[in-house]
Structure 1
């Protein structure tokens, strides 16, 4: 049923892209960094000749091409701890679209959508945009992510805008001597717990704080390529670029983030290629991982390689 529906979508779907909105917040994609997914989506959608229509009367969906990252960089007042002006900016934009065009008012914005990857995007898309389809990296059901309406967008860390697939590969299972690996900043409440229970306490569990910076981040990448399981704990928010990063280097992701809705969960069986651990089960993390048989791990590793293609950005769109 999904395949047939997808084939019909490819033949029929038309999207109208609003030209309204000034750069840099609109129409100026960022193509590298941890928020790059929203930029690559914007770039490919605005340039698409198959789906995009210049006639809004023929459109099934309407795209509002804003960058949540550039909204933050442009308008956030440093150290103010307030996002009120960002929320108000997007509210005013939606009101302008509704006043200028009649398409919004037909459905209350329900056939309009945004793609936004910054942690603050759920807040920025409140108000009138809340009725729209929101493709969000911060897919947190506790802060208003609506399963069945909203879309969980992969947070893909793109290290090179010129070559988004740079260093794509990992070691085979036989060359992964490390059971589990994590390194990163200690923001949020989960990561300090992870470090407290497992940091420097077990040779099989390589759990660190921030690793010393090395050109190209080679030490961190090599650890991911040499580990069976890559731990992906939430930070301040439920999402983590490590989930896709793990799959990029063919490491089985271990997601520790209650209330997170994984990307494409409607069509991908996440439990077949990832381990999902409740935050309260951090003390039992090693037991959970060693209970996975070698046979099952090898199958999970194969499936990571199989689904990897769904989380990659290409310089030119490719059908997978």
Structure 2
């Protein structure tokens, strides 16, 4: 009898072990499936074409996903080869903390373990290998370098992710979008902070904030009837508060906290959504911490900001929007034929980040890449017009007016700012008119850029820079598709799809 019992026990133990292994395999497969699918869902959402974009069928989704699994391997192989070719004295930029180039705690801002396309842009990447670098199709900075893929021929119309969808949505936005601005009188003690300054043309690095307020106040998007409004504008100006001695930099957080408290008691609009259908605009980097005492604004409201780093806490690329930092220049942009642009690349600026320090240290003695760590003695515009590529290197923040400068002067922007949620990336395909290079790959910069020039890709990039100039231009009176209208389109994409009515309507 004892042998029978022992045999039965072994059978039971074997059965239980087999079931456990099967359960673990099913669980692992389920978790892996969720992980893979989540990436597809995230990137589908990043496009923000909610109204008109057709759904992708299951077969197409599987085809896209499988293709990117193989191209990811190609990408890793080429990057590994590039780094292995270099001597051990690498110029890798380490010890950086996003948003503050002065820190030196040894931590790296790179998010390890994620595929290079994770970061959005509304497009899944199309990785291909070239002789100098790895390139991918996407509108966002990635963990590595990017240039336009050769497998996809550039044309004038392809500066957009989807031109037809953009135009159709744009027309609908122009007809239907309504915005309510909280009213304030000229006699208000803080009218200088809350009302647009129409006494002259805004200037300087933070002019985008002022231009937007002026343009919105004069536009057909404004409604005096809050019940028909899609969005509510919080009209305080971060830049104006900085210069108001009654507020100053140290008083901005308290001012905003008090302002939100006031409108939430005086009006019913904030309370019905917790501010989710409200937005504000700020170009100065101090706006990133201005909401610390009003977390409901940071968490719920739409933040339209220049310092749009999707790696930093407080900015959500799905909810918030990036506005370009543009130094206004009167008149039409100057032109110069690409053949007359003799310098390969150009950069000049203060050494306020390790990215910039690494850039200058690596290329200071190069004859084809002109980098300067101080102000130029010659006109800045001469260098922008005389270079094929103009480098935007991250400083204290990911953004500066250099990207707008490059586009204005017809110079192909080179983005050296990891995690930068580039302006209008829901609409524009930045890989069609710029080159995005990881800060890790500064040592390969010349090879990357010369590889582009040696093909016909540079001419296509430069031609597309001219195509997007109208989107990076402020006008005294807004013009279709200029910066104002592009920001309005970004807001239209982020409006609530559910209209919440007041109880007494």
Runs of at least 4 residues of structure 1 off by over 6 A?
none
* Distance in 1 of aligned mates of 2:335 and 2:245: 39
**2:231 counterpart of 1:61:** yes
Q: In the superposition, relative to structure 1, how do residues 183 and 28 fare at CA in structure 2: closer, same or farther (>3 Å)?
A: same
Deviations 1:263-288 (A, max 9, x none): 01011110111011111111211111
TM-score (norm 1): 0.90
Residue 171 of structure 1: aligned partner: 336
Alignment of 1:85-104 (within 5 A): 85-104=251-270
**2:465 counterpart of 1:304:** yes
**2:348 counterpart of 1:183:** yes
* Distance in 1 of aligned mates of 2:247 and 2:268: 34
* Distance in 2 of aligned mates of 1:177 and 1:25: 46
Of structures 1 and 2, the one with the larger relative CO (CA 8 A, separation 6+) is: 2
**2:299 counterpart of 1:138:** no
* Distance in 2 of aligned mates of 1:19 and 1:172: 49
**2:214 counterpart of 1:43:** yes
Q: Tell me how far 1:156 sits from its aligned partner.
A: 0.4
Deviations 1:284-320 (A, max 9, x none): 1111111113410000000000011101011111113
Residue 244 of structure 2: aligned partner: 74
Contact 1:165 1:312 in 2 (8 A): no
**2:363 counterpart of 1:198:** yes
Contact 1:75 1:86 in 2 (8 A): no
Contact 2:278 2:302 in 1 (8 A): yes
Contact 2:342 2:388 in 1 (8 A): yes
Contact 1:35 1:117 in 2 (8 A): yes
Q: Tell me how far 1:212 sits from its aligned partner.
A: 4.1
Please identify, of 228-237 and 140-149, the stretch whose mean Cα deviation from structure 2 is larger. Answer: 140-149
Please identify, of 35-44 and 165-174, the stretch whose mean Cα deviation from structure 2 is larger. Answer: 165-174
**How many residue pairs get matched?**
305
Residue 7 of structure 2: aligned partner: none
Contact 2:241 2:247 in 1 (8 A): no
Q: Tell me how far 1:18 sits from its aligned partner.
A: 1.1
Q: Tell me how far 1:211 sits from its aligned partner.
A: 2.3
Residue 417 of structure 2: aligned partner: 257
Alignment of 1:101-140 (within 5 A): 101-126=267-292, 127-130=295-298, 131-140=300-309
Q: Tell me how far 1:57 sits from its aligned partner.
A: 1.6
Contact 2:247 2:255 in 1 (8 A): no
**2:188 counterpart of 1:23:** no
| Runs of 5+ consecutive residues of structure 1 not aligned to the other structure | 159-163
Q: In the superposition, relative to structure 1, how do residues 193 and 76 fare at CA in structure 2: closer, same or farther (>3 Å)?
A: farther
Residue 161 of structure 1: aligned partner: none
Equivalent position SS for 2:382: helix
* Distance in 2 of aligned mates of 1:54 and 1:10: 17
Q: Tell me how far 1:143 sits from its aligned partner.
A: 3.3
Residue 52 of structure 1: aligned partner: 222
Equivalent position SS for 1:2: helix
**2:174 counterpart of 1:10:** yes
**2:443 counterpart of 1:273:** no
| Runs of 5+ consecutive residues of structure 2 not aligned to the other structure | 1-164, 482-505
Larger Rg: 2
Q: CA RMSD in A?
A: 1.8
**2:474 counterpart of 1:313:** yes
Q: In the superposition, relative to structure 1, how do residues 75 and 111 fare at CA in structure 2: closer, same or farther (>3 Å)?
A: farther
